[in-house]
Chains A and B, each alone.
Chain A
Amino acid sequence: MAHPLTARGNGAAPRVRRVSPAQRASSIARLVTAVVVGLVMMFPLYWMITIAFSPSADVVSRELRVWPSEWTLDNFRTIFGTFPAATWFGNSVVVTAIITILTVSVNLLAGYAFAKLDFRGKGFVFLLVLSTMMVPVQVLMVAQFRLVTQLGIYGTFWAVIFPSAASAFGIFLARQFIIAIPDELLEAAKMDGAGTIRIFLQIILPLCKPLIAVLVLLTVMYQWNDFAWPLIALKDAQLFTLPIGLLYLQGQYGADYGAIMALALLSITPIVIMFLAFQKYFVQGLARSGIR
Chain B
Amino acid sequence: MSADTSAREESTGNTAPPPSPAATYRAKSGRPSRQQRSTGAAAGFLGPNLILLGIFLFLPLGWALLISFQESSGFGASGWVGLENYRRLVVDPTFWQSALNTAVFTLITVPLSLALGLGLAVLMNSVLPGRKLFRTLIYLPMVISGIATALMGVLLFDESTGIVNKLLREGGFATIPWQSEGTAAFASIILVTLWIRVGFNMVIYLAGLQGISPELYEAARLEGASSWQQFRYLTVPLVGPSTFFLLIMDVIYSFQVFDTIFVMTGGGPGRSTSVLVTYAYENGFVTRDQSYAAAIGIVIFLVTLVFTAIQWRGNRSRDTVG
Within 6-41 of B, Cβ neighbours of A (below 8 Å) are at: 7-9, 11-13, 15-17, 19-20, 23-24, 26-27, 34-35, 37-39, 41
Known: A44-B152, A44-B156. A144 touches B56 (CB 8 A): yes
B67 within 8 A of A: yes
**B194–chain A nearest beta-carbon distance, Å:** 10
Residue B308 contacts which of A33, A41, A131, A191 (CB distance < 8 angstroms)?
Answer: A131
Which of the candidate stretches B160-168, B181-189, B212-220, B233-241 sits at the interface with the other chain?
B160-168
Interface size in chain A (residues, C-beta < 8 A): 113
A85 within 8 A of B: no
Known: A187-B27, A210-B8, A275-B139. A132 touches B145 (CB 8 A): no
Q: 0/1 per residue, A256-287, Cβ < 8 Å to B?
A: 01001100100110011011100110111011
Which of the candidate stretches A8-16, A71-79, A114-122 sits at the interface with the other chain?
A114-122
Pairwise interchain contact A290-B12, C-beta atoms closer than 8 A: no
Pairwise interchain contact A292-B169, C-beta atoms closer than 8 A: no
Residue A261 contacts which of B5, B7, B151 (CB distance < 8 angstroms)?
Answer: B151
Residue A264 contacts which of B5, B148, B262 (CB distance < 8 angstroms)?
Answer: B148
Pairwise interchain contact B45-A288, C-beta atoms closer than 8 A: no
Known: A31-B128, A133-B308, A166-B52. A143 touches B63 (CB 8 A): yes
Interface size in chain B (residues, C-beta < 8 A): 116
A-B contact pairs, 8 of them (CB 8 A): A37-B120, A106-B52, A139-B298, A210-B11, A246-B151, A261-B151, A271-B145, A272-B143
Extra 13 A-B pairs, beta carbons < 8 Å, given A163-B57, A180-B13, A261-B151: A37-B123, A37-B138, A41-B137, A118-B38, A120-B39, A129-B53, A130-B312, A163-B60, A197-B41, A207-B16, A247-B147, A261-B152, A292-B143
A residues near B, CB below 8 A?
26-27, 30-31, 33-34, 37-38, 41-42, 44-45, 47-48, 51, 59-64, 66, 102, 105-107, 109-110, 112-114, 117-120, 122, 125, 129-136, 138-147, 149, 162-163, 165-166, 168, 171, 177, 180-185, 187-188, 190-191, 196-197, 200, 207, 210-211, 214, 221, 224-225, 227-228, 232, 242-243, 246-247, 250, 255, 257, 260-261, 264, 267-268, 271-272, 274-276, 279-280, 282-284, 286-288, 290, 292
Which 7 A-B residue pairs are closest in the complex by CB-CB distance? A225-B145, A143-B60, A143-B63, A166-B56, A113-B45, A119-B42, A110-B49
B residues near A, CB below 8 A?
4-5, 7-9, 11-13, 15-17, 19-20, 23-24, 26-27, 34-35, 37-39, 41-43, 45-46, 48-50, 52-53, 55-61, 63-64, 67, 75, 120, 123-124, 126-131, 133-134, 136-149, 151-156, 158, 160-161, 163, 166-167, 169-170, 195, 200, 203-204, 207, 227, 245, 249, 252, 256, 258-259, 262-263, 276-277, 280-281, 284-285, 290-291, 293-294, 296-298, 300-301, 304-305, 307-308, 312
